[in-house]
Structure 1
Amino acid sequence: MLNSRIKLRHLQAFLEVAKRRSFARAAEVLAITQPGISKAIRELEDILETDLFERTAQGVALTQAGLTLLRHAGPALRALEEGVASAGDAHRGDRWLRVGALSTVESQLLPEAIRRWHAAPGEPSDVGVNVVTGSSAFLLSRLRRGELDLVVGRMTEAREIRDLAFEHLYYEPLLLSVRSGHPLAGIVPLDPARLGDFPWVLPPPQTTLRQQVDSFCVRHSLTLMRQRLETLSLPISRRYTLESDAIWVAPEEAITEDLAAGRLCRLAINLEAQGGSVGLCVNACMQPTLAREAFCEVLREVSAGRGSGSGAG
């Protein structure tokens, strides 16, 4: 049974501080004073008889007890907010499926799954899809707080996945590609040392995809040019690559059509042996909805049609 001394304001204050990593920013969002939010957190810690935050050079960080509370309080409060909103909007039928999408599934898997899901008769026609993009750390943290229903993409290397439930769908390799007519196009075998003579388009630091690039560079003693573009945006990466001599580190599905059309060429060197595990991730603490379960089933069907094997993530 929930301790009667714990109030909604305590949990709201806790979640905002956990999200913002700052008492001052959390107070600003909740439109209360900083002493007020500090008091709410102190009362909650007294009730639970444990510290929830610890101060760091960057602000505040969750303790282990704080992480445990976040795992449960985020989805619970989000479910309460949705229940209140659903009650008020029942006459309009406003319902949404909130999906976090990593760049590895933005080009083919997710658009096709959404199209099939909305084309199916019945339930999906009444449910809108809200897609949020970003890094795995950003999306998984939102999933843990109950702000997303699921996250789709390549994420098994992410530290933030921890106690979230991941289901493998298929393996997706990162490829090195260049524009048609590039000086390295068609060279077989390709000396890895030559890759350092050109600018690169690659994922930003602190992302799981960037870890694979860094490992590749270490294996081949490769130092990249300082002239490089770091982004998760596929449209920006594609345009820059097509109009320059850059080498693009891209998920296979993002460049399949350009490879087939001859606009891009795959370099004759493997960035990684097998590729990463692409799958769907949910928060087991969140009550599953019919819409989420139906959409996950469509994701499985679309993934099976890719002809890729399945296995442990």
Structure 2
Amino acid sequence: MRLNPRYLVVFCVVAELRSLSRAAEVLNLSQPAVSKTLKALEDAVRQPLYQRTSQGIALTEAGKALLPYACAVNRSLAHALRFIEERRRRRVLRLEVGLSWSLIPRYQNTLLAWASSPEARCEFQLTNGTTLELLEKVYQRDIALALVLGGTDDLPEPLMAHRISSDEMVLLVAPDHPWAQLGGVALGQLEGMPILVPQRNSRLRLRLEQFLERYGIVPSRLVECGSLYGVKTAAAAGLGVGLSSRSFAEPEVSAGLLRALWVEDAGFTLGVHWISYPEASLDHATREQLGHLWRYLNPP
């Protein structure tokens, strides 16, 4: 059976956006053309792949099973088109680096300073995300490198992790919070307290939940704030005790807007890791630029 790869590309975009109209805009197609393409794909599979709901497009079981393969085709075609375009235009190397949200205050300016230096003979792009999101991007070769907090648990082969520094998990409170004058607190003091946390796939949140479960500590609730920026805002407003890395909260702590408390239990320090493919699997230009960046971040 011959299958037009374009069918899978359209299906992937529709599934990700959960909307035929939005997918049509992204793909620069008419909505009837998108619907016709999906119908052709369903005819080929001989099963319905999606259904319309009040919240948008919902995939059937067959659609969910097909989606990873469709998105893999979409990524491969995107990479091929980018490769062809760069070769045709003889563009310089495009180096995309991922940086965990929690490490932005600590490393963003350093990375951008390197990108402006004579050593950076590339088109540099910085992208942010959670540790888990960035690991997936490196694995799929969407980015060449990720600087992440933690990230070595179950690292997929053949990715490699090099520890370049460490950062401490801290609790954030407003200056008028009862704990504000304490240097640190025991983990058990979180019993019955509301804790402000970032999104579910945050490495900081996952580590905190592991410790709470291990020691049987039950907070009154975990208040999901969407991101570490949301955690800082909510903690400064006195809405609870926030979870953060020390470096991420440093600007607000230095300005007196927040107090950072260290936790008097082992295990609240996470490594900052450089995640990439082994050098042998990288092309010469990428390997050379990553070498320059490594030496810039780790001077003798």
Secondary structure of the 1:173 match is: strand
CA shift at 1:218, angstroms?
Answer: 1.8
**Mapping of 1:88-107 within 5 angstroms?**
89-90=89-90, 96-107=94-105
Q: Which residue of 1 aligns with 2:121?
A: 123
Deviations 1:123-173 (A, max 9, x none): 14xx242x33233444444444443333331352676x5245132233333
* Paired residue total: 282
Structure 2 regions of 5+ residues with no counterpart? Answer: 50-57
2:228 equivalent to 1:230: no
**CA–CA distance in structure 2, aligned partners of residues 287 and 24 of structure 1:** 36
Give the Cα separation in 2 of the matches to 1:265 and 1:172.
17
Output the TM-score relative to the length of structure 1. 0.66
User: 8 Å contact 1:97–1:128 — kept in the other structure?
Assistant: yes
Aligned twin of 1:183:
178
1:84 and 2:84 aligned: yes
SS at match of 1:86: helix
Q: CA deviation at 1:103?
A: 1.4
Alignment partners' CA distance in 2, 1:147 and 1:16: 20
Please state how far the C-alpha of 1:70 moved relative to its aligned partner. Answer: 6.9
Could you list the runs of 4 or more consecutive aligned residues of structure 1 that deviate by over 6 angstroms after TM superposition?
A: 66-71
| More displaced stretch, 175-184 vs 137-146 | 137-146
TM-score (norm 2): 0.68
For the Cα contact (< 8 Å) 2:163–2:271, is it kept in 1?
A: yes
Contact 2:173–2:258 (CA<8 Å) still a contact in 1?
Answer: yes
Match of 1:267 among 258, 261, 266: 261
Counterparts of 1:280 and 1:6, CA distance in 2 = 42
Q: Is the 8 A contact 2:149 2:271 kept in 1?
A: yes
Any conservation in 2 of the 1:97–1:292 contact (CA below 8 Å)?
yes
Residue among 250, 254, 272 paired with 1:256: 250
Distance 1:203 1:24 in 2: 24
Secondary structure of 2:263's aligned partner: coil
* Distance verdict in 2 for CA 1:122–1:157, change over 3 Å: closer
Mapped to 2, the partners of 1:33 and 1:293 lie a distance apart of 41
For residues 123-142 of structure 1, the aligned pairs below 5 Å read 123-124=121-122, 127-129=123-125, 131-142=126-137
Alignment partners' CA distance in 1, 2:184 and 2:171: 14
Separation (CA, whole Å) in 2 of partners of 1:147 and 1:164: 15
